[in-house]
Chains A and B, each alone.
Chain A
């Protein structure tokens, strides 16, 4: 038995086929922290029943909270959307001075945390204590010396007196330069009638008389020349030159001081590293808890009862992925009830009767429960499992170059090798891809093997002989047994191809019932083939062979 970090309840295929991955992908998570947390979520195993019950109680509490405080929850989620994962920046803050952009991002995160805190502390809003963030006001004060709490950032003058002084000096020098140059510009205009642009340059055509005059002005430097005209620029006088040099010195002073400020701020951020990280974890936990609760409410999920014995009991269960598809087509899902315990249970019944979906449902409910989710049914009792696997045909076998039978056998081996005490095995129409004689023999033998184990095994099959075995529970799809065939026929008569499938699914009763006496499997295949429009010649031919 694999233990520790590598322990695995179910492989990716099982998580995908049962619908667990679908549920996880559809959670409304809004922070990078919540998404990370979901990825790291581990299921609960046998022996952890108490912990799981506590977790489910928490989800229940969260659902009550979500229903009571809708407004605050939507505010929280809005706040979540703005949050960014800054773990790399936080790491860097220990080693080096953060850039202005990074400091801005830290400040933004702090402001968002403060906003979240405000929402959480609203007297109408009973957020559980474990999600309340640690105070970050002090660090925020460092990054926001003016305390105006705006989501903006710059190395403001307020950070350092020296910086403020240098900047002021630079500004004054710039004005001096401009004044001196403006004065000279005015002189040139008076003395020579040449007008310089605001940038202190001028273009003079070669044919113009001004050219000679301009050439005489000593501090008007010629910059470029072409065959039509000459461009002059006002040179720097002694005074201006001095000022410009000073500005350059001041500039490097400013740069140095800005670095000092950034270094000091980065150190403060580094000090808060752990608090910020733990706050981010709390935000992630809150995000995930809200998402789970909201999902549960939206999809009418209930709290599963976690029991000691190894059973799966589902009342009116719905496979969420299929339900969503049906809902999007404005159709309703027909809930199915299933009761499973250690031993082998077979699902038999009509084609198109939803056997495979019910098989997936029997996986979805217990796996959701073990991951601490509410489950889509009206009532559920679940005993925890150590291992779960589904065996179901998919397109991957073709891609891997294996026949469907080949890959089935490969997966069957993996599944039986990995099984242990308290396992759930879900098997969809095993050995249907080979000849019926060997297929039946193989299925029977697998069932004989599984009967002796402490596994919950659920198998869908068309092999009638299988269900005649002793000690096997046989559940059957009601199918078209109770349908009004005359009405169905008349409806099908006028329908086109697409509608036919819809009509059949409307008459189909997907519910399962346990067969007590040995009853024949209903032979609906030919009926359905006929309804779908297969020619009479073939249908009648097939009937002859049965007789």
Chain B
């Protein structure tokens, strides 16, 4: 049995997320669909975050057209229905609107190419996945339409498949380094159950920077973002502060001005790893300084796909890229989608 079978026993929904544009996300999706067909898994296919891309979809540039086999359940906006080459039986008209009409749930009657698109909002995607399971789907693949890591938020799916490839850099070393940085971030420790976590979770909807001291008391700062606010955060940290919760994006400007001692003394808490926008080098230096961070929710990576080809013309040797990546990420299956 192949990789997809293993995944389908562990997860119900998988998002496919690209490290960058042209990292081979659609290729990865096609590959998984082929595998599912070989292994007789009934797939559901949808996508998320395709907002404001109407033009692309209509003119046909950069549309994720995928070949679907019979009995696959797929989401498609009503205006794209007639463009599908596959024969699609409409099973349900959902109330989730897109720029291209309400989303239809269809069962593939005759295999062929389909342009997939789903609801824009994460909450709606989640609801729709529920409906797809009702229709007999065993595994749902979500195409994270925008090639941005931030779409991978853990609310949508059980785990993600991370697509990476030559497009990131001309050096294999760099590609592997950046990919494993993201994988490491996504695997950040989750804040342990307990009083601190409960308190933070209770107030997290207020979207304010919060400090928690050794007695579990919360001090809410009048800041809705940590961006550019490191001096204020530094001022607010006293000898009793143990945790600092940052609601929004986590960049260098959030911690640049925090004193080294204070940095060591506290633990930073983030909503989830997609909030981090700090590159490998800076991250390593921070860790050296004694910086620690936990998340309320982390992201499980089910597999990493590599694409040794870059659209600009260069490529790596297949085996080398795959093997180097696997060496760097021993716990996660790595596969080459072009093999």
Q: Determine if chain A interacts with chain B.
A: yes
Given A99-B82, A101-B81, A154-B87: A205 in contact with B93 (beta carbons within 8 A): no
Q: Which B residues lie within 8 Å of A155 (CB)?
A: 87
- A259: min CB distance to chain B, Å: 11
CA distance A305 to B339 in the complex (A): 84
The verdict on B239 contacting chain A, using a C-beta distance below 8 Å, is no
- Rounded to whole angstroms, the CA-CA distance of A205 and B104 in the bound complex is 43
**Residue of chain A at shortest CB distance from B89:** A154
User: Per a CB cutoff under 8 Å, which of B88, B92, B313, B318 touches A226?
Assistant: B313
Please measure, in the bound complex, the distance between the C-alpha atom of A107 and the C-alpha atom of B309, giving whole angstroms: 48
Rounded to whole angstroms, the CA-CA distance of A459 and B109 in the bound complex is: 72
User: A104–B338 contact, CB under 8 A?
Assistant: no
What is the minimal beta-carbon distance from A222 to any residue of chain B, in angstroms? 15
Residue of A nearest to B109 (CB): A154
**Contact status B318-A105, CB under 8 Å:** no
- A100, B101: Cα distance in complex, Å: 14
B178 within 8 A of A: no
The CA of A197 and the CA of B316, in the complex, are separated in Å by 19
Residues of B within 8 A of A437 (CB): none
CB of A151 within 8 A of CB of B92, answer yes
Tell me whether chain B's interface is mostly helix, strand or loop, or mixed. Answer: strand
Cα A198 to Cα B92 with chains together (Å): 33
A108 contacts the other chain (CB 8 A): yes
Interface size class of A (residues with CB under 8 A): 20 to 34
Interface residues of A in 169-219 (CB under 8 A from B): 171, 197-198, 203, 205
Q: Is A152 an interface residue (CB 8 A)?
A: yes
* Minimum C-beta distance from B306 to chain A (A): 13
Residues of B within 8 A of A151 (CB): 91-92
Chain B residues with CB under 8 A of A228: 314-317
| B89 with A229: CB separation less than 8 A | no
Q: Are A203 and B89 in contact (CB under 8 A)?
A: no
Q: Which residue of B lies closest to A199 (CB)?
A: B34
- The docked-state distance in angstroms from the alpha carbon of A171 to that of B86 is 12
List residues 267-323 of chain A with CB under 8 A from any CB of chain B: none
Decide if A101 touches B315 in the complex (CB within 8 Å). no
A380 to chain B, nearest CB (A): 41
Residues on B with beta carbons closer than 8 Å to the beta carbon of A99:
81-82
Query: A65 vs B87: C-alpha distance in the bound complex, in angstroms?
Result: 47
CA–CA, A99 and B104, complex, Å: 14
CA distance A152 to B108 in the complex (A): 12
How far, in Å, is B104 (CB) from chain A's closest CB?
Answer: 7
Q: Are B90 and A227 in contact (CB under 8 A)?
A: no
Q: A residues within 8 A CB of B93?
A: 101, 104-105, 108
For residue A167, which residues in chain B have a CB less than 8 angstroms away from its CB?
A: 87, 110
Asked if A153 is an interface residue, CB under 8 A from chain B, the answer is yes
Answer whether A152 and B316 are a contact pair too, CB < 8 Å, given A100-B81, A101-B78, A203-B338.
no
Given known contacts A99-B82, A100-B81, A203-B318, A152 and B90 CB-to-CB distance under 8 angstroms: yes
Asked if B267 is at the interface of the complex by the 8 Å CB criterion, the answer is no
Which residue of A156, A171, A205 contacts B317 across the interface (Cβ within 8 Å)?
A205
Q: How far is the CA of A127 from the CA of B289 in the complex (A)?
A: 77
Asked if residues B81 and A154 are in contact (CB atoms below 8 Å), the reply is: no
When A and B form their complex, which 6 residue pairs have the shortest distance between CB atoms, in order from nearest? A154-B89, A104-B90, A228-B315, A101-B78, A153-B90, A152-B91
Could you show 20 A-B contacts with beta carbons less than 8 Å apart? Answer: A99-B82, A100-B82, A101-B82, A101-B93, A104-B90, A152-B90, A152-B107, A153-B89, A154-B90, A154-B109, A156-B89, A167-B87, A197-B339, A203-B318, A205-B317, A226-B309, A226-B313, A226-B315, A227-B313, A228-B315
